Amino acid sequence: MPARFGARRLGGRILWSPLLLGSSLAAWWSALQSSSITLAGSNVTAWASIVGGISATQVTGANQPTYAASGLNGLPTISFNGSSSYMTANVAQSASWSVQAVASTASLASYGSIITSDNDPARMAQYLRIETGGAIGSITFNTGGSFSLAATSTTVLTNTPFVCAAIRSATVQSIAAYLNDGGQGSATPTGTAQALTQVIRLGAQTNTPSLFLNGKISDLILVNRALTTLERQKMAASRAWAFGVQSSLDASTPYRSSPPRASLAELEQWADEHGWRVIDLAAHREQARRIYTPPRLLIVPHHGWRIAA
Amino acid sequence: MTRYLVYPTQAEAQAAVDAIDARARVLFRAAGYAIDAQGAVIGKRDGADDPSGVTTTWDISRQRADGAWIVAHPEARAANDAEVRPGVTRADYVMQDLGSPVIEADPHDGTWFPSPAVLHP
């Protein structure tokens, strides 16, 4: 996806996007971008991340998930069958991380892995999973092998889309899970966070594939640091609005009535990482005078810009 | 419940997979998919061939606790319910060279495979 924001009208600041996380955004899979999905019939053989040049793949036909153009809230999704389907991706991982998914499940009778990884094939750390009964759980290990589980106080409903997330900070020693940006469940890990070095799996646990997801994943984001509260709220709301499930967001979120928008600071940071700079035209009236219906903000390359006469 | 083809040896299970793959390639080729030199089906992304998204085989046989080898039944994919000609589904077609294999459903009670050490409090 081209990372393009462009100029906006006064008062129409752009919608917040995970792309604004810049280099912190390790991977972002979105079924809304059909060009990221490789198919053999309806089977998904590869699902390309929007950033990072990463693809989740599955070369074995019986283990491939399937694509449904209107499978989640009338929008595209990847469907996992709960018994064999999963995908694998090689993603550089960090001790602190944040992860979020837009998903649904057809069953609460058993664990459903959404995204997993670990340092050791014999262990089964889960970035995000659906616990038996429907809570959202996230597990982290320390280097001594002890684990901490954070599980939400709220639960998902079967066949009902939701936004789930987990945030692990290795610096302040915390792990928290969220469902629809609420129902926070937390734990306080001890020791040193274990680095995650195994491949990432979508739809199954990392160890001998099991704990399969019987459900759908439409959007999956992995960030290589712990998000702030505001970033977490914006990320949850951004994807909730994208998939039309904003009414499911927790009452505490500030973005139930309107989607989150980018702040000037976020735009400036993003622009700086990409070799661009933000010019506030209110302070550059000569340039603004030459633009019909001048915008308040423009993002322009460092090497200059042109305005059509 | 998910059903599997059951074979006494890995060699027999692999022969079944090979037979399924051979016929599946015929179906994929007829549907416009390219097959690479290794026999993998090249997926399509936005209508164009994408060599990064290939299907190399139908399944990888696994040995269950009693020593038998299992292969996923082609019916496991809903798309294989589609008919390639009247009365013959894709699953029927790719299984035509298998004779009459033993077919069993995984009871998912740990008898086929030991339960993983699931982490939970």
* Chain B CB contacts of A38 below 8 Å: 43-45, 50, 52-53
Cross-strand partners of B48? B45
Tell whether A28 is within 8 A of chain B (Cβ).
no
From A6-20, A213-227, B79-93, the region with the lowest mean pLDDT: A6-20
Mean predicted lDDT score pLDDT of chain B: 91
pTM, 2 dp: 0.89
Nearest-Cα residue of chain B relative to residue A38: B45
- The per-residue pLDDT for A13 is 72
* Chain A CB contacts of B91 below 8 Å: none
Tell whether A84 is within 8 A of chain B (Cβ).
yes
| More confident of the two residues A6 and A199 | A199
Task: Give yes or no for residue B52 having a pLDDT over 90.
Answer: yes
Nearest-Cα residue of chain B relative to residue A47: B53
Q: What is the dihedral of CA A180, A181, A185, A187, to 10 degrees?
A: 130
Nearest-Cα residue of chain A relative to residue B49: A38
Q: Which amino acid is at B19?
A: A
Phi, psi (5° rounding) for residue B28?
Answer: -65, -40
Percent of chain B with pLDDT over 90: 77
- The per-residue pLDDT for A303 is 59
Looking at residues A133-158, what average pLDDT do you find?
A: 92
Q: Do A149 and B121 lie within an 8 Å CB cutoff?
A: yes
- The per-residue pLDDT for A8 is 46
| More confident of the two residues A83 and A80 | A80
Looking at residues A233-250, what average pLDDT do you find?
A: 97
Where residue B121 falls among pLDDT bands split at 50, 70, 90? very low
Q: Do B58 and A131 lie within an 8 Å CB cutoff?
A: no
Residue recorded with tokens 């009778």: A109
Q: Do B76 and A55 lie within an 8 Å CB cutoff?
A: no
Percent of chain A with pLDDT over 70: 83
Task: Give yes or no for residue B60 having a pLDDT over 50.
Answer: yes
State the SS3 of chain A.
Answer: CCCCCCCECCCCCCECCHHHHHHHEEEEEECCCHHHEEEECCEEEEEECCCCCCEEECCEHHHCCEEEEEEECCEEEEEEECCCCCEEECCCCCCCEEEEEEEEECCCCCCEEEEECCCCCCCCCEEEEECCCCEEEEEEEECCCCEEEEEEEEECCCCCCEEEEEEEECCCCEEEEEECCEEEEEECCCCCECCCCCCEEECCCCCCCCCCCEEEEEEEEEECCCCCHHHHHHHHHHHHHHCCCHHHCCCCCCCCCCCCECCHHHHHHHHHHCCEEEEEHHHCHHHHHCCCCCCCEEEEECCCCCCCC
Distance CA B47, CA B50 (A): 9
Tell whether A61 is within 8 A of chain B (Cβ).
yes
Task: Give yes or no for residue A281 having a pLDDT over 80.
Answer: no
Distance CA A181, CA B59 (A): 39
Q: Choose the closest CB to A38 out of B53, B113, B116.
A: B53
A-B interface: how many C-beta pairs under 8 angstroms?
102
Q: What strands lie across the sheet with B69-72, from one edge to the other?
A: B62-63, B69-72, B3-7, B102-105
- The per-residue pLDDT for A291 is 57
State the SS3 of A77-97.
Answer: EEEEECCCCCEEECCCCCCCE
Separation in Å, CA A141 to CA A115, A131, A154, A299, B45 = 15, 18, 24, 42, 37
Task: Give yes or no for residue A284 having a pLDDT over 80.
Answer: no
| CA of A129 vs chain B CAs: smallest distance (Å) | 11
User: β-pairing, A126-130 with A87-89?
Assistant: unpaired
B38 CB-near residues (< 8 Å, 6+ apart): B56
| More confident of the two residues A57 and A193 | A57
- The per-residue pLDDT for A195 is 77
Task: Give yes or no for residue A307 having a pLDDT over 50.
Answer: no
Q: Choose the closest CB to A60 out of B52, B57, B78.
A: B57
- The per-residue pLDDT for A286 is 67
Cross-strand partners of B35? B41
Percent of chain A with pLDDT over 90: 62
State the SS3 of chain B.
Answer: CCEEEEECCHHHHHHHHHHHHHHHHHHHHHCCCCECCCCCEEEEECCEEEEEEEECECCCCEECCCCCEEEECHHHCHHHHCEEECCEEHHHHHCCCCCCCEEEECCCCCCCCCCCCCCCC
Q: Do B43 and A62 lie within an 8 Å CB cutoff?
A: no
| CA of B119 vs chain A CAs: smallest distance (Å) | 7
Q: Do A41 and B79 lie within an 8 Å CB cutoff?
A: yes
Distance of CA A240 to the CA centre of its chain: 11
Q: Do A37 and B28 lie within an 8 Å CB cutoff?
A: no
pLDDT digits (tens, 9 = 90+) for B62-119: 999 999 999 999 998 878 888 989 999 999 999 999 999 999 998 888 888 876 555 5
Looking at residues A4-33, what average pLDDT do you find?
A: 79
Q: Choose the closest CB to A43 out of B77, B116, B119.
A: B77
Q: Using only C-alpha atoms, what is the Rg of chain A?
A: 20
Separation in Å, CA B21 to CA A76, A248, B57, B98 = 29, 44, 6, 12
Q: Do B116 and A84 lie within an 8 Å CB cutoff?
A: no
Distance CA A140, CA A94 (A): 12
Tell whether A55 is within 8 A of chain B (Cβ).
yes
Mean predicted lDDT score pLDDT of chain A: 87
Q: Using only C-alpha atoms, what is the Rg of chain B?
A: 16
Looking at residues B43-53, what average pLDDT do you find?
A: 95
* Chain B CB contacts of A132 below 8 Å: 120
Looking at residues A43-48, what average pLDDT do you find?
A: 97
Distance CA A209, CA A201 (A): 9
A45 CB-near residues (< 8 Å, 6+ apart): A38, A39, A57, A58, A59, A64, B43, B50, B53, B54, B55
Of the candidates A80, A83, A47, the residue with the CA atom closest to the CA atom of residue A65: A80
